[in-house]
Amino acid sequence: MVAKGTLLGDARSKAAELAECISQIASDRSEAAFEVLFRYFAPRIKSYCLRLGADASGAEEITQEAMVSIWRNAGQFDPKKASPSTWIFTIARNLSIDRFRKSRRPQFDPDDPALVPEDQQPPDRLLETVETEEKVRTIMQSLSPNERNVLMLAFYENLSHSEISRQLGIPVGTVKSRIRLAFAKIRSTLEAKDGADR
Amino acid sequence: MTINFHLSNDILLRYSSGTLDEASSLLVATHLALCPHCRTRNALADSLGGYLLDSIEATPVSPDMIDAVLAQVRNDAPPPATKPPSDAAAAAVIPQPLRTYLGGDIDALQWKRLAPRIHQIPIETADRRSKARLLRFQSGLKVPSHGHNGRELTLVLAGSLCDRDAVLFRGDISETDERTEHQPHAGPGDDCICLAVTDAPLRFNSMFARLLQPLFGI
């Protein structure tokens, strides 16, 4: 279910390659770069949609829509703020909510005059988002495959503890303790970041 | 403005995974507009989604899909160079996307009287799992003591709200669940305006309040 964890260095160079492809689509409308992105992401987006409960044709439609949206919005991708996978995850997620849940996911508008801006940040602050994102990845890779599996079911499919327990054939108590452990590790990352600006 | 009461990790992770209901997501988005600190945490929660997308299995897509996508985008007009100007004056009190849901900023709102010294505006959402409403309490007003059958999220937008030994100001969040019994009251000074989201009817403790509950619809 979960691909074997790659070394962090591989993940970093893969992310850099994909980010370069997005910027080539934005600057040159490069179809070759798009093909690289497509080969990597389209089959993953399709899996994501299937996990959310889409049927095969619905998953294909969302995947196609997501890939169109990636092309059209490539100029808005900011590699300082998110990795390509994170940016594309948010695109696929938003399309899925519109389509499958017939619901909306309200989002703040970064250009809203009522938005409270960041305090004056030290100049290295921009680097931090990407670094912290890497830290989250390191933590995820330190989880056992079992812990990661449970987390994926909870995060992607919103299954209840008892549904996960049935699907994986493990006791509910084990599901709960795995989720608790995985969340505790992630939380410590989220909160280590918090401390300073509270 | 310093915000002291933030979104919980649970709510943030559910918002990020896309599983949170629309009304609660509206409250989360409104808080994010006011809270740079939680915007950073939200970006981290999204990165978890990115990680999971990297580690998910690959399911083959139809071999024609890439050509279909390219055919669709090849004739795109170049994107507009500038974004359309924002609809709001520089002094908007209510952040987006809440302003759109309400149809205007604070001065344009059509308040409905709910009880003496309490006004409300119910907010329409397509998703019926939960209800959002804007509430306005006159200063000093005590909300009848109540418990909850489900979760209640409150975001203060103006004035202040005293709840269980804490004082909440603009941007602050209060999250209660079925174990919470509380009697919040509006602080002194300006009216307290807050966005409240409930996923189940409140459970009022006094007989009087319980009798009125079906009338108020809360």
User: In the prediction, which pLDDT does B204 show?
Assistant: 55
CA atoms within 13 A on the CB side of B18: 24
| pLDDT band, residue B168 (cuts 50/70/90) | very high
Question: pLDDT: is B195 or A124 the higher one?
Answer: B195
**Domain count across chain B:** 1
- In this structure, is residue A130 part of a structural domain? no
CATH code (residue B149): 2.60.120.10
User: In the prediction, which pLDDT does A27 show?
Assistant: 93
- In this structure, is residue B60 part of a structural domain? no
* Inter-residue contact A28 to A43 (CB < 8 Å): no
Q: DSSP code of B98?
A: H
B36 contacts in chain A (CB < 8 Å): 116-119, 197
Instruction: Tell me the pLDDT of chain A (198 aa) as tens digits.
Output: 444 445 566 777 888 899 999 999 999 999 999 999 999 999 999 999 988 888 999 999 999 999 999 999 999 999 888 899 999 999 999 998 888 766 788 999 988 888 988 876 555 555 566 777 777 778 777 888 887 777 777 776 666 677 778 888 889 888 878 877 776 776 666 565 444 433
CA dihedral over B97, B103, B108, B112, signed as positive or negative: negative
User: In the prediction, which pLDDT does B201 show?
Assistant: 61
Co-location of A81 and A3 in the same domain:
yes
The shortest CB-CB distance from A156 to any of B9, B17, B39 is to B17
Question: pLDDT: is A123 or B156 the higher one?
Answer: B156
- In this structure, is residue A134 part of a structural domain? no
- In this structure, is residue B41 part of a structural domain? yes
* Inter-residue contact A19 to A13 (CB < 8 Å): no
A76 Ramachandran zone, left/alpha/beta (phi>0; psi -120 to 50): alpha
Residue listed under structure tokens 């055919």: B71
Q: Chain A contact for B156, CB < 8 A?
A: no
- CA B136 → CA A107, B44, B140, distances in Å? 24, 34, 12
Residue B73 to residue A72, Cβ atoms within 8 A? yes
Q: Which of A68, A96, A109 to mutate to test the interface with B (most CBs of B within 10 A)?
A: A109
Residue listed under structure tokens 């509950």: B213
What domain range includes position B185?
1-52+94-218
Residue A116 to residue B1, Cβ atoms within 8 A? yes
Co-location of A10 and A77 in the same domain:
yes
- In this structure, is residue B214 part of a structural domain? yes
What domain range includes position A46?
1-111
Co-location of A73 and A161 in the same domain:
no
- In this structure, is residue B65 part of a structural domain? no
Co-location of A18 and A99 in the same domain:
yes
- In this structure, is residue B15 part of a structural domain? yes
Co-location of A5 and A98 in the same domain:
yes
- In this structure, is residue A125 part of a structural domain? no
Q: What is the mean pLDDT of residues B201-205?
A: 58
A171 to chain B nearest CA, in Å?
23
Q: What is the mean pLDDT of residues B56-75?
A: 94
- In this structure, is residue B125 part of a structural domain? yes
CATH code (residue A171): 1.10.10.10
B218 to chain A nearest CA, in Å?
22
- In this structure, is residue A45 part of a structural domain? yes
A84 to chain B nearest CA, in Å?
8
Q: What interface predicted TM-score (ipTM) does this complex get?
A: 0.84
Q: Chain A contact for B68, CB < 8 A?
A: yes
A38 C-beta neighbours (distance < 10 Å), count: 22
- In this structure, is residue B213 part of a structural domain? yes
**Domain count across chain A:** 2
Residue B44 to residue A133, Cβ atoms within 8 A? yes
A110 contacts in chain B (CB < 8 Å): none
The string over A95-116, giving b where at least 16 C-beta atoms fall within 10 Å of a residue's C-beta and e elsewhere, is bbbebbbebbbbbbbeebebbb
User: In the prediction, which pLDDT does B25 show?
Assistant: 95
